[in-house]
Amino acid sequence: MAGKFFLFQYEKDDVVKMRKKHPCGSFEWKVMTVGSEIKLECCGCKRMMVMDRPTIEKATSLVRRGDQVITEKT
C-alpha cells in the first residue's frame, strides 16, 4: 500500500453515510470487511454490496465509529 493515500479510514463495524439514498430509504451502511475492496451491509434492508476504495470514497460523505465521526467530507 506504500504511496497510496486514502482520505477515509475504514474499519470493521464502522458506519458510512452514502451521498445517494438506497432504494430502501437508508443512507447508512455498515462495514463488514476491509481490504482492497470493502464489503458493506445496508443498515436499512441488510443487503450486501462490495465496492473498491476509489468508488466508496466518492460515494460516502461520512464515516462513523460508534458515536464518533471519523471522517466527514462535504
Query: What 3-state DSSP class applies to 60?
Result: strand
Beta-sheet pairing, 28-34 with 15-18: antiparallel
Euclidean distance between CA atoms 34 and 20, whole angstroms: 21
The one segment of 5-13, 36-44, 51-59, 65-73 that binds Zn ion by CB under 5 A = 36-44
In whole angstroms, the minimum distance from the beta carbon of 5 to Zn ion comes to 30
Which 39-68 residues touch Zn ion, going by CB under 5 A?
42, 44-45
* Under rule CB under 5 A, residue 24 binds Zn ion: yes
DSSP H helices, 12-62, are 53-59
Closest separation between CB of residue 10 and Zn ion, Å? 19
